[in-house]
Structure 1
């Protein structure tokens, strides 16, 4: 295959803005604070603000979270820049053993987790699970569920306390309304075990950035074990190999994107320029995550000029005929296969999907090459990017009075949180050497067929160490990913409510939901921007103004 870093050369160079970069969905960052009184339970309808991790003096939250004790076992080959993720282009020859002996006491635990891949076989037929559990000294039995419908599964499980597994993974986007109350009733407050110096018993957990822990607090307690996330979460990707064959360069403006997408499109060759890139359109146009402060007044994202401009652009893209017909029909689940097969040449995906795609496609198509585009403003100038949150996925331990059981689970979590450069981390991420992976001449683990079938992110979803770029299986990948992320970092800023785990009053929880379907309809020409104005008016009437007041309370608390 081509060296991946080669295709990263010659990309857009922009003047840094000098802003403090965010530590996005996969990293830690400064924590926005409000009043300690806001650490109370989520209201059932009161108008007062309720934030589960906000605190004006930050003292209330600080009492809940572990002391940060960083580990520096190995130095990165490519240091982070402006908060971007550091890169490791090699695997250390000698690994550190961070957990001297099996941490478990022989317990058996069920763990529910999402899977966005073919669900692997479970115990006792999965050699990867067997090997990790042997090192753990305990048995974790995974109940893997389709990630695309996982939100529905969470709702069902939380409604039946008796059915709650011992360990439950919940992605941030699947957290249901009024979750704070559920957390307090169903899950264990971990602050008595981890807060402050107590975490010293679990050094790998102490190595997780403080902001990720703060974002794991609900209802005045530390309920979540976090999965920190990298600097930039989503990206525009393009099929670099096919672009080069066609003599094309990646677009550098919003108009160029549509022009190139149209040029690529040839239905007779089953080839279209683009997937539905609505999420990317919003990023390109600098749309805020939720709220924007304008002259001291909060403006919802749906009310902003940037949101309207993003809609205007996506309308043009769909009208151009360059969007794949299945994407137009709303079939988003097949977007990855379409892009990987060359049926579409530009898409938007999570950055983590890059490495996953290489694993799926390179064995049968060694010329496959995809690259993330550097972000650009619609006119080709500097982009305005907003930080995600310091953790993207959480796991929760079922509430129990058995302290020994909780301590055993935390000991297992400490093993799973072992950082890059340790024996434990290599086992969690790659499985057993000689069985799930083999080292090549450069000491790089290469997955076997069994490894590709069995090794997944299940343990990593339960808890993860600080994120690093260390996926060295494909030449040039770490360099390309690390350098791309560093180029985006200077353009990132924090939105007004960055880092706050806010539980909205339940009557407002789904207030913005109609805008999702409306955006799809407007893009496809079934509705117009006049319908956006009408929906905004309805939103205000049905509680939008009250919700604005709710959030404004955090600005003065």
Structure 2
């Protein structure tokens, strides 16, 4: 149950100091910190250390382990995601009892794919709800515009569903100011010995729980993140067909993009590669510490160099015209149809693309590039935050309802190798999938339509790569992340849940807009320095002071 914070003493001290805790506590011990009623974990007589938590969970679940139930075919390397290409046999029970007691709940959740049929027209929903002993009715919204949906719903508390999924990147400004008025404080249910009622949740890395705290209290249920969260993908099948090798530095990247571009064949080199440029030039999420000072990404020379590189990509004509125009919503469609051959995306998009395209194009081969610095040297990659997506329970005085929903979350957090994980991932055999000659579940049309990540967004076990229906993908992606793991470092404020004050909410927008204007040739790079100075005087220096408080 080792946490990345165990090996990052600086980040750990900052987090515990911010929460008003002593340095001797970790993990769920932090739940007893400031920001909520009471200073100790309910039922424990005090705070609980990570080691004590692990020991209690191990003792409470006979014949279980905090390690994975099944030994991975591709073990984790430096925190990379372990991979599985075979199905365990037999499957075991992830929970011992039906978690629900007849409750009925509305759930708002994003989808970056075609929304599945609703309750009443979805055999997958019906099957899972039956196993849960409760009815979850999903309100699925377009993931690409989900941030707007979240803000609209939160603006009117009466519209807040019983359970609400919010990706970390969609947490709105001023969230911490009102989180306790809208959502349930879970601290007293999960701190200390309380976590033992939810053994699957207890197996999660303490860093995930620390990151699920707002105002020093646990409000979020975590969907843990991966070590490396973003990748630069290319169509390996089409690269091989064209006789082109992947690039190895910034200059050869430009050459490759130009070489594979052929508008006459309806083929362009890439989608919008601004995220790729930021990865390549090792720009941090916010601030980095240089010579004892906090320096924002906007102030770094690498920021300017990344813009210049992106400008060269567009000037070469290699970026698809729709991407140049800002139409990124159809980027995956263009990439998957072969109109573009390079794009950046989250690593979760890799297997999702295979599931969409392989049934009609078995030769489709999406591959992630080994990342590199602009000069071709080793890259610097920043570790992903401990949690990628949160789910929140609507505030209620009904403690039995809270416990029922937490039992449901615990059921959803069952590991690979359990019957629960199998049902959530594949649905019902004969209805949603059939097994191939190797016993591997293969989704059919109904499965691809109905089986999605809706339940898994509520809570998730430690991330594993268990897409056994795509063994080539499991091998390629597991080995790719293991190679990248050698270059991963913690960002300066790793593991700390920092919500910037609302006054800084739009501070960076002028510079984001300027990146677009410069790279599209509407403005000159010489305008960047003045814009950065304006950013400083308009609030950037105050933002630096705010982040400086977390340096103590």
1:33 aligns with 2:29: no
TM superposition shift of 1:525:
1.0
TM superposition shift of 1:157:
1.1
Aligned partner of 1:62 among 29, 36, 39: 29
Q: Which residue is 1:295 aligned to? A: 291
Determine the C-alpha separation between the residues in 1 that align with 2:228 and 2:500: 26
Return closer, same or farther for 1:87/1:60 CA change in 2, 3 Å cut-off: closer
Q: Which residue is 2:241 aligned to? A: 245
1:204 aligns with 2:219: no
Contact 1:22 1:386 in 2 (8 A): no
Determine the C-alpha separation between the residues in 2 that align with 1:534 and 1:109: 52
The normalised TM-score by structure 2 is: 0.91
Map 1:349-360 onto structure 2 (within 5 A). 349-360=345-356
Contact 2:27 2:209 in 1 (8 A): no
TM superposition shift of 1:29:
8.2
Determine the C-alpha separation between the residues in 1 that align with 2:484 and 2:4: 12
Contact 2:27 2:206 in 1 (8 A): no
Determine the C-alpha separation between the residues in 2 that align with 1:474 and 1:536: 46
Determine the C-alpha separation between the residues in 2 that align with 1:101 and 1:528: 64
TM superposition shift of 1:38:
3.4
Determine the C-alpha separation between the residues in 2 that align with 1:420 and 1:511: 43
Contact 2:80 2:482 in 1 (8 A): yes
Deviations 1:398-447 (A, max 9, x none): 11111000000001011000010000001111111111111111111100
Return closer, same or farther for 1:485/1:79 CA change in 2, 3 Å cut-off: same
Determine the C-alpha separation between the residues in 1 that align with 2:206 and 2:396: 26
Query: Mean alpha-carbon deviation: is it higher for 125-134 or for 93-102?
Result: 93-102
SS at 1:238 equivalent: strand
Q: Which residue is 2:378 aligned to? A: 382
Map 1:331-350 onto structure 2 (within 5 A). 331-350=327-346
Q: Which residue is 2:320 aligned to? A: 324
Contact 1:116 1:148 in 2 (8 A): yes
Return closer, same or farther for 1:545/1:344 CA change in 2, 3 Å cut-off: same
SS at 1:488 equivalent: helix
Map 1:48-447 onto structure 2 (within 5 A). 62-64=29-31, 67-68=53-54, 69=57, 70-447=66-443
SS at 1:111 equivalent: strand
Work out the number of aligned pairs and report it. Answer: 520
TM superposition shift of 1:197:
2.2
Deviations 1:86-117 (A, max 9, x none): 11110112101121231100000001001111
Determine the C-alpha separation between the residues in 1 that align with 2:251 and 2:479: 26
Determine the C-alpha separation between the residues in 2 that align with 1:478 and 1:35: 35
Q: Which residue is 2:444 aligned to? A: 448
Contact 1:22 1:492 in 2 (8 A): no
SS at 1:315 equivalent: helix
Return closer, same or farther for 1:22/1:260 CA change in 2, 3 Å cut-off: farther
Contact 2:3 2:206 in 1 (8 A): no
Contact 1:86 1:468 in 2 (8 A): yes
Contact 2:19 2:30 in 1 (8 A): no
Determine the C-alpha separation between the residues in 1 that align with 2:328 and 2:194: 45
Contact 2:16 2:30 in 1 (8 A): no
Deviations 1:30-57 (A, max 9, x none): 85432657349xxxxxxxxxxxxx9866
Determine the C-alpha separation between the residues in 1 that align with 2:22 and 2:177: 19
Contact 2:250 2:375 in 1 (8 A): yes
SS at 1:142 equivalent: strand
Return closer, same or farther for 1:29/1:482 CA change in 2, 3 Å cut-off: farther
1:462 aligns with 2:458: yes
The normalised TM-score by structure 1 is: 0.90
Return closer, same or farther for 1:529/1:61 CA change in 2, 3 Å cut-off: farther
Contact 1:240 1:371 in 2 (8 A): yes
Determine the C-alpha separation between the residues in 1 that align with 2:463 and 2:171: 22
Higher relative contact order (Cα pairs below 8 Å, separated by 6+ residues) = 1
Return closer, same or farther for 1:96/1:179 CA change in 2, 3 Å cut-off: same
Determine the C-alpha separation between the residues in 2 that align with 1:91 and 1:29: 35
Query: Mean alpha-carbon deviation: is it higher for 135-144 or for 150-159?
Result: 150-159
SS at 2:456 equivalent: helix
Tell me, which stretches of 5 or more residues in structure 1 are unaligned? 1-20, 41-53
SS at 1:446 equivalent: strand
Q: Which residue is 2:61 aligned to? A: none
User: After the TM superposition, which parts of structure 1 deviate over 6 Å for at least 4 consecutive aligned residues?
Assistant: 21-24, 54-57
Return closer, same or farther for 1:29/1:408 CA change in 2, 3 Å cut-off: farther
Tell me, which stretches of 5 or more residues in structure 2 are unaligned? 33-49, 58-65
Contact 1:91 1:443 in 2 (8 A): yes
Query: Mean alpha-carbon deviation: is it higher for 508-517 or for 442-451?
Result: 508-517
